[in-house]
Structure 1
């Protein structure tokens, strides 16, 4: 059974974590294919919007602690690969490309949070531009429970999304939030009844995939710049990207109209 499922529906690419018996908890066998699937979605010009979700009754429960110690890829210390700590860093950082790609790819990304999300899963959800959740969803940082600092960009994303005060509350106190509580804090973008969630997500995803893709590309660039850039530099980039986006969109629409009416 494949642990990552890929589905294309028009310009929408859905990536599903497929370990429903473990609430889609992450192991080495799923994290590399997940990163690869995100890289492929980022580079595929036919894809206009990416949806990430989990199979079964959960989004992602974080790292699978039951299998965390069984990885055979970390070797005894050696001159080529370094210490176990160095090897672990290289391995985890490679897996964490998933978060970078979802955040930086030049197309909108949506986390369809269909149940509990915790640990590394909150990094994956936070990396997406939008988070649509069902009422059975919950939110838990969980890192305090294993004496960990956070991974998959979780501390960075949630500080940016919620502000440092709320992010510190979530990480240090480690309290589990219901879907309604998470929505009230601004963690989830939209909240739906469980049976309506997929339909609402796909409606939004198709709207984005069928919309002005170059406009969204530069819009996302501007929004990402705003997270770290000085105001004047962001203004310069907005001015440049405005021209790039509108000229590209006009050209695409002109070519589309010509193809639809070749004699017109």
Structure 2
């Protein structure tokens, strides 16, 4: 039976995507890269998934790219090999296209019009740091450790690590992390602003899913507008950002969720949002 490298679970509006290679600390290999890209695209379109949680099975979040390569075939395995699908001729161009296509997962994750949370314990390296940085929240266990890792592996970086870390931490800290590649712990991740919340490992799941449920109870349409404002503000001029805020705030005021929020305020109760 082939390894199911990515698990998906949807409960009460919270979709959990779990990297499922615990024996490799969830290091990314081609099957996991493809599965994650497809899953993020599907999550983006799934109206029942109001919040996305990304986590790793076992002791780690994601220990970067799997440098060990393909597993060797067991000589005792006498089963017939499965016919392979036709592939494009290998070249630098096809390699670049293949990697770029899978890297689009972090763009979709960042631009997704719904809240995203990385639940982090254990090793978080290179692509793991990039994926977590593309999320809106990073809930971090006190046993987590972090390292960009690319330079020490003789690689320059992928999955948007330069983009996300520069905007999250600033250019000076990102240059330090990328060029030196030194490991740092969860307390340092909180200090430099990489971790959104730092909790004990025993409380990691409860804290993460409490946050997820809180977000899932919010107005999905307003959350979409808020994320649109925040993402645009990273690139826009101030006048353009003000124009967008004015437009989306007036549109928000026309929603049923705004009307429900006003009623709930008057009636002194919590609002029940419909996402309309």
Q: Same fold (TM over 0.5)?
A: yes
Shift of 1:34: 0.7
Change in Cα spacing, 1:73 to 1:137, as seen in structure 2 (3 Å) is farther
Shift of 1:74: 10
Q: CA deviation at 1:230?
A: 0.7
CA distance, structure 2, for counterparts of residue 214 and residue 124 of structure 1 = 24
Structure having the larger proportion of residues in helix: 1
Cα distance in 2 for residues equivalent to 1:227 and 1:184:
22
Q: Residues 114 and 133 of structure 1 are in contact (CA less than 8 Å); yes or no, is this contact kept in structure 2? A: yes
**Deviation per residue, 1:78-121 (Å, 9 max, x gap):** xxx57611111111111112101110010010010121100111
Separation in 2, partners of 1:154, 1:107: 21
Which residue matches 2:254?
247
- Give the match for residue 78 of structure 1: none
Q: Tell me, yes or no, if structure 1 residue 22 matches structure 2 residue 24.
A: yes
Partner of 1:48: 50
**Contact (CA 8 Å) 2:219, 2:257: kept in 1 or not?**
no
Shift of 1:9: 1.4
- What are the equivalent positions in structure 2 for 1:59-78 lying under 5 Å apart? 59-67=61-69
| Structure 1 residue 250 displacement after superposition | 3.3
TM-fit CA distance, 1:246: 2.9
| Alignment deviations for residues 215-263 of structure 1 (CA, whole Å, 9 cap, x no partner) | 1100000000011111110100000011222322437849xx9xx9xxx
Task: Give the corresponding residue for 1:105.
Answer: 112
Q: TM-score, normalised to structure 2's length?
A: 0.86
Q: How far apart are 1:11 and its partner, in Å?
A: 0.6
TM-score of the pair, normalised by structure 1: 0.89
Secondary structure of 1:24's aligned partner:
coil
Work out the CA distance in 2 between the residues paired with 1:108 and 1:13: 11
Q: Distance in 1 between the 2:109 and 2:162 partners? A: 16
- Residue in 2 that maps onto 1:209: 216
Number of the residue aligned with 1:32: 34
Aligned match of 1:221: 228
Distance change in 2, residues 1:201/1:49 (3 Å): same
Task: State the SS of the aligned residue for 2:255.
Answer: helix
Tell me, what secondary structure is at the counterpart of 1:96?
helix
Give the superposed CA RMSD. Answer: 2.2
Q: Does 1:168 align with 2:167?
A: no
SS state at 2:63 partner: coil
Query: Which residue is 2:129 aligned to?
Result: 122
Shift of the 154–69 alpha-carbon distance from structure 1 to 2, 3 Å rule, reads farther
Count of matched residue positions in the alignment of Structure 1 and Structure 2 = 251
- Structure 1: state its 5+ residue gaps: 76-80
Post-superposition offset of 1:73: 8.6
Instruction: Determine if the alignment matches structure 1 residue 136 to structure 2 residue 138.
Output: no
Which consecutive aligned stretches of 4+ in structure 1 deviate over 2 angstroms post-superposition? 72-75, 248-254
